Amino acid sequence: MERIYPLLYQYLLSNKILLLPKIGTFSLSNAGGRYDYPTQTLQTPSMDFTFQGSVNSKKNDQHLYNFLDNRLKDNAVSSEQEIDEFSDRLLHVLTEDGTVQLPGIGLLRYINNKIILESSYNQKDYFPDQSALPVKRENANTTILSGDTEYTKKEMESILEEKPKSKNWWTYLLIAVIVLGVAAGLYYYMMKMQGKL
């Protein structure tokens, strides 16, 4: 993997995308940490490597070339030429052996003329979920932000304890039917009195 792979890995981590000619596009997506209320655990932020293969395509990433030029400080070989050589060697090893391990990213496989990434990075191996049971303090003066309004703990408890109004939609329907029945009866009576029926 020579001297260029650590720089490519650093570029991928900092820019979230890496375009390798004849190989494909590696990308990195992040998800923030969160609190899982049902399991009472604090889940760490996570990142996931994805890959979209595109064999025999040439992609130019001038930002990557500038990044490598600044890091390598070597004018004997241009960064574009060095990336092309790295991609060619990687593709050659993939077609010959069928797999290439990319440290920190995963295992590239060459199956049915397609390149597939099996990510070996599992954040939970390094940062497992942590139990985070809420601490209940009596007479604590904490505030809770709900929308744009701030409530004290006691105000929020009283809001949550209020019983929701029962939905008696059928009573409104019954009243509407009775009113319509009375209106229809009056209309029938008025028409009968005028002799039009």
Q: What is the mean pLDDT of residues 74-90?
A: 80
Quick one: pLDDT band at residue 185, thresholds 50, 70, 90? very high
Query: What's the whole-number average pLDDT of the chain?
Result: 81
Which residue is listed with tokens 């497992």? 128
Kindly state the average pLDDT of the residues 175-188. Answer: 94
Phi-psi region of 34 (alpha: psi -120 to 50; beta: other; left: phi over 0): beta
Tokens of 72: 């390598």
* Residue for token pair 């070996």: 120
Is 180 part of any domain? no
Count of other CB atoms within 10 angstroms of residue 127: 13
pLDDT, position 52: 86
The set of long-range contacts for 118-122, using a CB threshold of 8 Å and a minimum separation of 24, is: 119/48, 119/49, 119/50, 121/47, 121/49
Express the helix, strand and coil content of the chain in percent, nearest 5 each: 40, 25, 30
Task: Calculate mean pLDDT across residues 108-135.
Answer: 79
Q: 169, 145, 170, 166: which is closest to 156 by C-alpha? A: 145
Residues in the chain: 197
| CB-based contacts of 18, cutoff 8 Å, min separation 6 | 8, 11, 12, 25, 26, 27, 64
Split at pLDDT 50, 70, 90, the class of 179 is: very high
With respect to residue 189, please indicate whether it lies within any of the assigned structural domains: no
Domain tally, the chain? 1
Q: Provide the 10 A C-beta neighbour count for residue 171.
A: 9
- The boundaries of the domain holding residue 35 are 4-131
In a domain, 60, yes or no: yes
The reply to whether 181 falls in a domain is no
